[in-house]
Structure 1
Amino acid sequence: MNDIHTLAGAYVLDAVDDIERAAFARHLADCPSCAGEVAELLETAARLADGTWSVPPPRLRTDVLAQVSRTRQVRPGGGSGRDRRTAGSRWRTLSVAAVAAVVLAAGAGAVTWTVAQQRVRDERVATAAARAETERIRTVLAQPDLAVQRRGLSGGGRLTVFSSPGQDSGVALLADAPPIPADRAYQLWLMDGETARPANVLPAGVNGDTVVLTGVRGRSAVAVTVEPAGGSAQPSTSPLAIVPLT
């Protein structure tokens, strides 16, 4: 073995035989550099084992073992000068393969960690938005000029509208509406006579929710229709209910 220092990666990945393992273990006791490298690689492996780690690419193990099988195996301390040079080359090749394995595994873990972090950020944004929506609803319901109107929907259910002209805002509560397909959605409209302006669209397939309305001042009513998921620019079906604002 020309350079035992190159065994660090192979040692961490357990890609050494018993003799090599024992020799490198003894070497670690007297080599702070290798001990530090092994500690760092073990720490990386431990991080990859947590809940955010994903399985490395399926061919990773096969590729590493194939690389090892193509490298001539020579016992340390034996053979000709050429054999010893080949052995040294083997340690370097195996070390490169080991480091490549760690890098690839770390890359897979890093990608999963990034996705997990993005999900956390998305959840935080959604939570903040929900809190803001709740606060807006509370503000509307606390206004002294609050007006409440309710109408039943054709086919069942009801639409209740709380409006505050002073806040130019309102709250619409759709409850127990008839079930709709997942590619359809209930949409609310602010009516100005016969003219309908999009107000809010419920999530697709949902038949009940509470939403905030803006720009209610001067409007005559709130209507609800069934539209394609995502909503429409103008009503495409007849209103299931029209709730007057005054």
Structure 2
Amino acid sequence: MTTEIHTLVGAYVLDAVDDLERASFERHLRECDSCRAEADELRETTARLAHDTWSVPPPSMRENVMAAIAETRQLPPAGPAAPAPTVRGSSRRWRVIAAAAAVVAAVGTGSAVWVVQDQRVQDQRAIAEAARAEEARVRAILAAPDVVLNEQNVMNGGRVTVATSRLHNAGVVMLAASAAPAGRVYQLWTIRPGGAPVSASVLHEGQEADVLVLDGLPGATDVGLTIEPPAGSRTPTLPMVADVKLV
């Protein structure tokens, strides 16, 4: 076996290999004790990349990394019988540098991989914060002193419940229905006096429940539910399977 397969360990741990390289390297891992030990150490190190305290690196980061790699001699593993390498504090720093350089070479970008990981953490945090804010709005509307509840059974099973609050000038639509027919989805609509139905939400195929906060809902007269093609429709397909009267 050539030594090139050993050099994939950093890129493999950081998921910077294609499907063929991944399958080949995973077969190699079953035979190579040194690469398994190396992969375990790199996983432990790269797990720190998403820590909350990491910040954006200075512009000189890539140049410093590449310069350090150019000056560091890279040796292949001794072989299957060789003992697993010992991890020390100083060697851990060089493993981080090697892992970052492997990703730069594999994906052809000038960004260190930990910046990507940090961005993923920020994205996930933003999603979680948005979900908490949405949940807080739902609770506030449902707990409002002027909340009004209206509900309607769905023709093919289930129920649509609508809670409105003029104090919040918003409402919560809660859908719990039976499965839509194959190849079809549920679509929610709002209807206002003198206006055409406006799409409020198109559910995904197979989705049977939803909780939706709608601003200005107390001004609507109806919340309707229809069964539509997967991408939804511009106008409701009649008859509606539920029509919740709000006034």
TM-score normalised to structure 1 length: 0.55
Query: Corresponding residue for 2:138?
Result: 137
Residue 157 of structure 1 is matched in structure 2 by 158
1:240 corresponding residue in structure 2:
241
Identity %: 34
Q: In 2 relative to 1, CA 116–203 (structure 1 residues): closer, same or farther, beyond 3 Å?
A: farther
Q: Which amino acid aligns with 1:195?
A: A
> Size of the alignment, in residue pairs?
167
Q: CA deviation at 1:46?
A: 3.7
Question: 1:191 aligns to what?
Answer: 191
Report what 1:147 is aligned to: 148
1:25-44 aligned within 5 A:
43-44=93-94
Distance 2:124 2:190 in 1: 31
Deviation at 1:152, TM superposition (A): 0.9
Q: Is the CA contact 1:188–1:199 (under 8 Å) kept in the aligned structure 2?
A: yes
Deviations 1:16-74 (A, max 9, x none): x9xxxxxxxxxxxxxxxxxxxxx98872324555xxx79x58xxxxxxxxxxxxxxxxx
Query: Secondary structure in 2 aligned to 1:217?
Result: helix
* Cα contact 1:170–1:213 (8 A) shared by 2: yes
* 2-structure distance, mates of 1:42, 1:216: 57
Residue 9 (str. 1) matches residue 10 (str. 2): no
Displacement of 1:232: 3.6
AA aligned opposite 1:131: R
Q: Deviations over 1:119-163 (max 9, x none)?
A: 222211211111111111112112222111111111111111111
Where does the alignment leave 5 or more consecutive residues of structure 2 unmatched? 1-69, 79-88
Is the CA contact (8 Å cut-off) linking 1:184 and 1:226 kept in structure 2? yes
Deviations 1:144-190 (A, max 9, x none): 22111111111111111111133221111111332455x75422111
Indicate conservation of the 8 Å contact 1:204/1:230, yes or no: no
CA gap of 1:42–1:221, structure 2 versus 1, over 3 A, is closer
| TM norm structure 2 | 0.55
- Pick closer, same or farther for the CA change 1:127–1:225 going to 2, 3 Å: same
Unaligned runs of 5+ in 1: 1-6, 18-38, 58-102
Q: Distance in 2 between matches of 1:42 and 1:146?
A: 59
- Classify the secondary structure of the residue corresponding to 2:220: coil
8 Å CA contact 1:188–1:200 kept in 2: the answer is: yes
Contact 1:9–1:41 under 8 Å retained in 2:
no
Taking a change above 3 Å as real, the CA distance of residues 195 and 147 of structure 1, as seen in their structure-2 partners, is same
Q: Residue in 2 aligned with 1:100?
A: none
Distance 2:229 2:125 in 1: 29
1:216 CA displacement: 1.6
User: C-alpha distance in 2, partners of 1:217/1:233?
Assistant: 23
Q: 1:120 to 1:241 in 2, by over 3 A?
A: same
